[in-house]
Amino acid sequence: MDIRPTAIPDVRLVVPVRKPDARGFLYEVYRRGDLEAAGLPCDFVQENHVVSERPGTVRGLHFQGPPDAQDKLVRVVRGRTLDVALDLRRSSPMFGRHVAAELSADNGHQLLIPKGFAHGFCTLEPHTEVVYKATNYHSPERSYGVLWSDPALGIKWPVDATSAVMSDADRARPRLCDLPAFFD
């Protein structure tokens, strides 16, 4: 596994090594030892599978607050997404900044998003499927979000607010400046 830094050092791009042969290919999508060797011990306890039928579907920006905060390892098994990790750690010099990466079934790239970040994505193809591992169980009472289209974030989404397919809850999320401090 090739574990690469991003513009925000705590967020990592994980690139599995593909081993092609006449039948197709094989790659290891998760090797605990490789993450630990890179200083990223992640004890994943839950895996989720998300299906979005239409391109331009936006999910996020979501996070869980302490004590149920989660690290996530996100990958696309069908289609393509623009995946975003937003730093919510108030003490971080990167607070309010984000990293965006294109994840696809073709490139096999994964995004490792640590606690203290909000995560969201926009589908770029129909019938896109996202799978992610999490280090804590889903906690509805500690599930929060940030408004995906908050202009202060400077995220260049590939869809505008009028054509984005999304939940009413995600459309009503607070802007970053209105969000309480969850991660100091």
Contacts 24+ apart (CB under 8 A), 159-164: 159/56, 159/58, 159/122, 163/56, 164/56, 164/57, 164/58, 164/122
- Give the type of residue at 46: Q
pLDDT of residue 29: 87
pLDDT of residue 99: 98
Mean pLDDT of 58-81: 97
Average pLDDT taken over every residue of the chain: 95
pTM: 0.95
Asked if CATH classification 2.60.120.10 holds for the domain at 2-178, the reply, yes or no, is yes
pLDDT of 25 strictly over 90: no
pLDDT of 14 strictly over 90: yes
Going by pLDDT thresholds of 50, 70 and 90, the confidence category of residue 17 is confident
Q: How far is CA 55 from CA 21, 38, 79, 123, in A?
A: 32, 34, 9, 5
Going by pLDDT thresholds of 50, 70 and 90, the confidence category of residue 42 is confident
Active site residues per annotation = 62, 132
pLDDT of residue 65: 97
